[in-house]
Amino acid sequence: MLMMGKRGQTFGSIVVIIGAILVGLGVAWLVAQNWHSIPAVVKIAIMIAVTAAAYISGVELKIHHYQHTAAALLLLGSLLYTWSVFLIAQIFSTSTTAQGIAWLGLLCWIGVLIAAYIFESKLSLILAFIQILQWMGAQFFAFMEASRAMFTPAILAYCVLLAGVLWYGLSLWHRSNDHPFAGVYQFWSAAYLLLFAYILSFQSLLPFLWHSETAMTTGPV
């Protein structure tokens, strides 16, 4: 009877969660339909409220041992935070240059990384690893735009290598402290190092890694 009661509670919780998600999607659709007519202050309040609701719901479910649903909601909170950063930037018409986009990407990464540690969310940490890689790419192109192509792809490749080494060092530090994120850091350190090795596997591209202008203008002797 106790087992049946627990199953009934679990099923009821799932139904409530699905219902809440459907209601939330309905509200989101209504807001999206009238987004351009909503005042900026109300838009920001909506984004903050939705993001906070996702995080709070995730924490509550985690406390009550609904680990998978809690993890999904905490990840949703991180995604909503990222979405909010770019939407707020759009509301205030901030710079759309490559450097402006890179700054927004860095802000997203910092926020998601902090949330990952506060809520002990592995999925949010994985999102942070993806975002820092995107930021490195955006920042590289911003430097290229500012310096008129003086930065070569080799710089980006070696940034990936250094990041991989850093993640490995952090994985050892987390492991020494018995932190649950140790395995995530180890996996992504391997992923970054493999990405660097994959870039080096294109031997025909190696001359272009250092300076595309030199490689293109230097002819046969």
What is the distance, to the nearest Å, from the Cα of residue 173 to the centroid of all Cα atoms in its chain? Answer: 22
Q: What is the pLDDT of residue 114?
A: 96
Residue 28 included in any domain: no
Residue 179 included in any domain: yes
Residue with tokens 């759009």: 90
Q: Domains in the chain: how many in total?
A: 1
Rounded Cα–Cα distance for residues 139 and 136 (Å): 5
Residue 176 included in any domain: yes
59-80 average pLDDT score: 86
For residue 57, which of 110, 99, 13 has the smallest C-alpha distance? Answer: 13
Give pairs for 147-152: CB < 8 Å, separation 24+: 149/212, 149/213, 152/208, 152/209, 152/210, 152/211, 152/212
Could you give the percent of the chain with pLDDT greater than 90? 25
Number of H helices and number of E strands within the chain? 9, 0
In this structure, are residues 159 and 110 in contact, taking their beta carbons and an 8 Å threshold?
Answer: no
Residue 188 included in any domain: yes
Lowest mean pLDDT among 19-23, 148-152, 172-176, 213-217: 213-217
- Is the pTM value of this prediction over 0.85? no
* pLDDT higher than threshold 80 for residue 5: no
Higher pLDDT, residue 121 or 218 = 121
* pLDDT higher than threshold 90 for residue 86: no
Cα atoms in the Cβ-side hemisphere of radius 13 Å centred on 137: 6
Rounded Cα–Cα distance for residues 101 and 85 (Å): 11
Residue 46 included in any domain: no
Domain range for 159: 152-221
Residue 210: pLDDT band with limits 50, 70, 90: low
Residue 67 included in any domain: no
Q: What is the pLDDT of residue 101?
A: 87
Residue 177 included in any domain: yes
Cα atoms in the Cβ-side hemisphere of radius 13 Å centred on 109: 16
Residue 111 included in any domain: no
Q: What is the largest CA-CA distance in the chain?
A: 87
Rounded Cα–Cα distance for residues 159 and 13 (Å): 45
